[in-house]
Amino acid sequence: MKTIIFAGPTISADDVSQILEAECRGPVAQGDVYKACLDGAETIGIIDGYFDGVPSVWHKEILWAIAKGVQVFGSASMGALRAAELDAFGMIGVGKIYEDYRDDILEDDDEVAIVHGPAEIGYVCLSEPMVSIRATIEEAVACQTVSISQGAMLIERAKNLHYRSRTWQAVLDETGSILNDCETENLKNWLQSGCVDLKRNDAVLMLQTMAEGRSKKSESDYDFEHSLVWEELTARVGGSHSDIGEECLAVLDELRLQKDFFVRTEREVHFRKLAEDAVDDKDMMRTPVQ
């Protein structure tokens, strides 16, 4: 069974391989789940994904994968968001972050958003996710490093920071009216060993769940609807023109030089294909099973 995991800043490919036999790709973006299915994935785990600058993984491609019988798990970051949105359709969510989104305890995408470096330097994290800051401060309260009221104010200050600016140093810089110098120093020292990496914890739990087969395969109970936008995505990602001849490719290149005409023609072709597919589906429904 081929398994593909989308991860990066939350957990490294090496650490994934210690838990689960899988191909580990980088953070998921639009079209990546569809391509993973084309590459033969029977199980997909989504941990990390892109938010800014790159189109995020599309709900519809996850629904398509589930409709095709592929198990799709989500946890920790983008995976938790999509699982909370699509668990009613068969996506399998794992972990506290997923549960908090599912139960409307968390709502904002910025709770899991971070800034990280490129793949070449191991997706090094350059900021802290709000969910981990919350978990860490709650642990600090439990350890009596800060009081309940101080913890609540620290969480509020951290939440008010833009996700790109959320670092522990930035949070500590906001403690002036909350903690005195001695309390700030105590918290700083405690953080050296007390930080809770909630996203990683949830990612590990999802990988363990997948490795141990503890989650039953969900069956989709909906009819996947094709659309013009879906056809455009599959054509772009799946390379649907790869089986046509050189002469046809040359014609397409000429058409692209006339942008307006090309766009209009492309849409007409897509609509015609959708109509033909709909007719084929109806014919199949009328054909008796032998």
Task: Give the pLDDT confidence of 165-207 residue by residue, as tens digits.
Answer: 999 999 999 888 899 999 999 999 999 999 999 999 999 999 9
Checking if the pLDDT of 242 tops 70, the result is no
Exposed e or buried b per residue across 42-55, where buried means at least 16 C-beta atoms within 10 angstroms of its C-beta: ebbbbbbbbbeeee
**Six token digits for residue 106:** 């968390």
Residues in contact with 33: Cβ distance below 8 Å, sequence separation at least 6, in sequence order: 44, 46, 57, 58, 61, 62, 65, 72
**Six token digits for residue 121:** 């330097």
Tell me what the mean pLDDT of segment 252-258 comes to: 61
Q: Which value, to the nearest 10 degrees, does the dihedral of the CA atoms of residues 158, 29, 223, 2 take?
A: -110
**Minimum mean pLDDT among 12-26, 110-124, 255-269: which range?**
255-269
Correct CATH for 3-121+200-212 of 1.10.10, 3.30.360, 3.30.70, 3.40.50:
3.40.50
Residue 264 pLDDT level (bands cut at 50, 70, 90): confident
Per the prediction, the chain carries an average pLDDT of 84
Q: What is the arrangement of strands in the sheet containing 3-6, beginning at the earlier edge strand?
A: 23-25, 3-6, 43-46, 71-75, 92-94
Query: Which residue, chain included where needed, has tokens 């972990």?
Result: 95
| Confidence (pLDDT) at 284 | 39
Tell me what the mean pLDDT of segment 111-124 comes to: 92
| Confidence (pLDDT) at 277 | 58
Which of the two residues, 286 and 45, has the higher pLDDT score? 45
Q: Which value, to the nearest 10 degrees, does the dihedral of the CA atoms of residues 208, 213, 216, 221 take?
A: 80
Tell me what the mean pLDDT of segment 252-274 comes to: 65
Tell me what the mean pLDDT of segment 221-241 comes to: 63
The predicted-structure confidence for 51-100, as pLDDT tens digits, reads as follows 877 888 988 899 999 988 999 999 999 999 999 999 999 999 999 999 99
